[in-house]
Amino acid sequence: MHTDQRPGSPILLPTRSTNSNSPMGPLDALWHVTNLFAPALGLGCIAASLSKILWRRELATVRWLHLSAAASAAAAAMTLLGLVLLGRDGRMATYGAMVLATALTLWWQGFGPGRRKK
């Protein structure tokens, strides 16, 4: 294996061979799905927390769990939509759509017609 020794270059580590004939195991599938939706869950939780901090008085009657679940679900939907439309996950357009969907959902749940009280 050839390694590039220039400063700042990534370190290449040997990996296990990926044979197309070997099927993905259940644990591998679980990790793939977990890693697919982890950014959506993180974005939803962080955005809901920041919203509750920034608009403490206005969002005092709205539960954090409700905001977080709605924002995470919207971001997860955008992840799936980006995967279907763009052919792979992790594209910048998908991340931009996740942020917009999260912001719109937080507004809807916190200030708009979808607002619920405790």
Q: What is the pLDDT of residues 77-98, one digit of tens each?
A: 999 999 999 988 888 999 999 9
The DSSP 8-state label assigned to residue 11 in this structure reads P
Q: What token pair was written down for 114?
A: 């979808």
Q: Is residue 78 part of a domain?
A: yes
Which residue segment(s) compose the domain that 50 sits in?
38-110
Rounded mean pLDDT, 43-57 = 95
**Distance, CA of 63 to CA of 59 (rounded, Å):** 8
Rounded mean pLDDT, 10-17 = 60
CA angle, 118 then 97 then 56, to 5°? 30
Q: Is residue 89 part of a domain?
A: yes
Q: Is residue 14 part of a domain?
A: no
Rounded mean pLDDT, 18-45 = 87
* Burial class (CB within 10 angstroms; exposed 0-12, middle 13-18, buried 19+) of 118: exposed
Q: Is residue 22 part of a domain?
A: no
Q: Is residue 8 part of a domain?
A: no
Q: Is residue 4 part of a domain?
A: no
Q: What token pair was written down for 57?
A: 């008085």
pLDDT at 71: 97
Please give the tally of structural domains in the chain: 1
Q: Is residue 51 part of a domain?
A: yes
Q: Is residue 43 part of a domain?
A: yes
pLDDT at 82: 95
